[in-house]
Structure 1
Amino acid sequence: MKVLDLYERATKVPVVGRAAFSLAFGLKAPYFLTIAPSVVELRPNHAAVRIRKWWGVHNHIGTVHVIAIANGLEMAMGALAESTIPAELRWIPKGMELEYLAMADSTILATADTDPADWTQPGEVDVRVEATRVDGTVVVRGVIRLHVSERKKRERTLSAVAG
């Protein structure tokens, strides 16, 4: 089943479903779980992940560590990519460029966005990412660059069976 389908089914049970989906998605790349993430929005070309401010993500001055934020941005990017990419294509991260703009002294919303035209053929896709405090201040902004390629015939067959 596709990621977006799972998200839509899970969020029919608002709190428990969202928590279960976030946990399951985090288990695909267990490092994501270090930030106790919650996927709060998911649709083609957009994803949002909440990173709660708690001691497990603090840096030495008590704000949310920028690497925890980068982890949340990468999770949002991955959710977006999985819910957007056509079945005949596959993706892999190629690089990340982030600007640290302000201190992260609250819960953070990590978002990822692309345009529909970005996913029409193999090549590079620049996923725009942004992390925002609860007061609306952007604390991190950047791009995660993906390499998008065609799936091999066997992968396409497996993808069709799984989807």
Structure 2
Amino acid sequence: MASTLQMYRSMSKLPQGKRLFSIAFSQKAPYFASIHLRVDEMRPHFAQLTLPKRRSVQNHIGTVHAIAVCNGLEAAMGLLAEATTPAGHRWLPKGMEVSYLAKSDSDLVCTAETSEADWSAAPDVPVTVRATRRDGTVVVEGTIHLWVTPTR
């Protein structure tokens, strides 16, 4: 079976390919479908997606709900992990620390980033995550900790 990264690379070359990949990725972990994410970029050590501000993800004050933002950040981390985890290894999120810095009153761009040095510290791999508004304001930032181990 093709890896998630291989699927992204081949599908993103097609017309509407990123949209179709986003739908397929959301079905891999059905809870991700609840935020209607759009995958913008996926490569080793980096992933980016857009979380649209829709009524279904808003809270009582009309901003994107904090848990929806965390869902977007976890989805970005998952894309990064799928693209970066070495062959013969598996990953599992083991914790998330986030700070809420500003109101999420627009579509959000969720990013996840690591470095080679982060992965050399395996099995505990920290992934830096960030959500920004359209105007560039960081609304949430934090770290998701992965546990990366051999599959055998």
> Which interval holds the TM-score relative to the shorter structure?
over 0.9
Q: Which has the larger radius of gyration?
A: 1
Give the C-alpha shift of residue 118 in structure 1. Answer: 2.6
| Counterpart amino acid of residue 128 in structure 1 | T
1:4 corresponds in structure 2 to: 5
Contact in 2 for aligned 1:53/1:108 (Cα 8 Å): yes
1:23 corresponds in structure 2 to: 23
- Identity across the alignment (%): 52
1:53 corresponds in structure 2 to: 53
**What is the DSSP-based 3-state SS (H/G/I as helix, E as strand, rest coil) of the residue aligned with 1:78?**
helix
Give me the TM-score of the superposition, normalised by structure 1: 0.90
Q: What 5-or-longer segments of structure 2 have no aligned partner?
A: none
Aligned-partner Cα distance in 2 for 1:2–1:8? 10
Q: CA RMSD in A?
A: 1.0
Listed as ranges, the matches of 1:73-152 within 5 Å are 73-120=73-120, 122-152=122-152
Give me the TM-score of the superposition, normalised by structure 2: 0.96
Q: What 5-or-longer segments of structure 1 have no aligned partner?
A: 153-163
**What is the DSSP-based 3-state SS (H/G/I as helix, E as strand, rest coil) of the residue aligned with 1:147?**
strand
Contact in 2 for aligned 1:89/1:122 (Cα 8 Å): no
Give the C-alpha shift of residue 117 in structure 1. Answer: 2.9
Aligned positions, number: 151
Deviations 1:111-138 (A, max 9, x none): 0000023334641000000000000000
1:62 corresponds in structure 2 to: 62
1:33 corresponds in structure 2 to: 33
Contact in 2 for aligned 1:47/1:113 (Cα 8 Å): yes
Aligned-partner Cα distance in 2 for 1:25–1:82? 11
Change over 3 Å in CA distance of 1:67–1:50 after alignment to 2: same
| Counterpart amino acid of residue 13 in structure 2 | K
Aligned-partner Cα distance in 2 for 1:7–1:144? 22
Q: Which has the higher helix share?
A: 1
| Counterpart amino acid of residue 49 in structure 1 | L
